[in-house]
Structure 1
Amino acid sequence: MSDSFSYFDFHSDHPARPHKRALRVDWQQSQDRCPQVRVREHTCMCLRPVYELCTAGGLWFMRRYTGENLEIMVESPWTPAGPARALWMRVLTGQAR
């Protein structure tokens, strides 16, 4: 057994393919609003795009990473925890993109 590992050795949830009538998320350019952001959940790095459910400054939001090296990042609107978690579940189940 090797002591070395890669980031791809640890898998997370894979979001479902978006439904035909999936809600379109209002993705916006990232604003540097808070010095610290906590990533609460994330999708697997083996599929693109990669999503993160984040919290900062008492609000919650999602990040979406695209591009060959995940260099393009956009954010959903910042909301209280309930609506953000509901949107997160919609993305995971293919009901939002």
Structure 2
Amino acid sequence: MSGSSWHFDHHSEHPARAHDRALQVGWQQSQDRCPRVRVRDHTCMCLRPMYELCTAGGLWFMRRYTGKDLEIMVESPWMRAGAAHTLWMRILTGQAR
């Protein structure tokens, strides 16, 4: 790998286009509940919206970024790991938005 340019050639997963009857996630304004959040997975930054799968304080949630510079961020309700992984897969497959 050559210096700092390697990440520009790498793309993350692109979520599928939302289905007509996609589940509407209860997106809400982000609240600083925990001092540290760990991002476990994310979709590609080249598409809007961009999503992150996050964990903090023993719970999991998704973040959704929109806007030209990804400056608008909302998050899903916080949940247990199993429910979060199910919702994450639904987002990636276009079954949830």
Q: How many residues align?
A: 97
**Equivalent residue, structure 1, for 2:32:** 32
Work out the percentage of aligned pairs sharing the same amino acid: 78
Code of the residue aligned with 1:84 in structure 2: it is: A
Summarize deviations over 1:11-63 as a string: whole Å, max 9, x none.
11100000000000000000000000000000001111000000000000000
Instruction: Map residues 15-30 of structure 1 onto 2, 5 A cutoff.
Output: 15-30=15-30
CA RMSD of aligned residues (A): 1.4
| TM-score, normalised with respect to structure 1 | 0.94
Gap regions ≥5 residues in structure 1? none
Asked if residue 84 in structure 1 is aligned to residue 94 in structure 2, the reply is no
Taking the aligned partners of 1:82 and 1:95, their CA distance within structure 2 comes to: 17
Deviation at 1:5, TM superposition (A): 1.1
Gap regions ≥5 residues in structure 2? none
Taking the aligned partners of 2:4 and 2:80, their CA distance within structure 1 comes to: 39
**Gap change, CA 1:60 and 1:90, over 3 Å in 2:** same
Code of the residue aligned with 2:76 in structure 1: it is: S
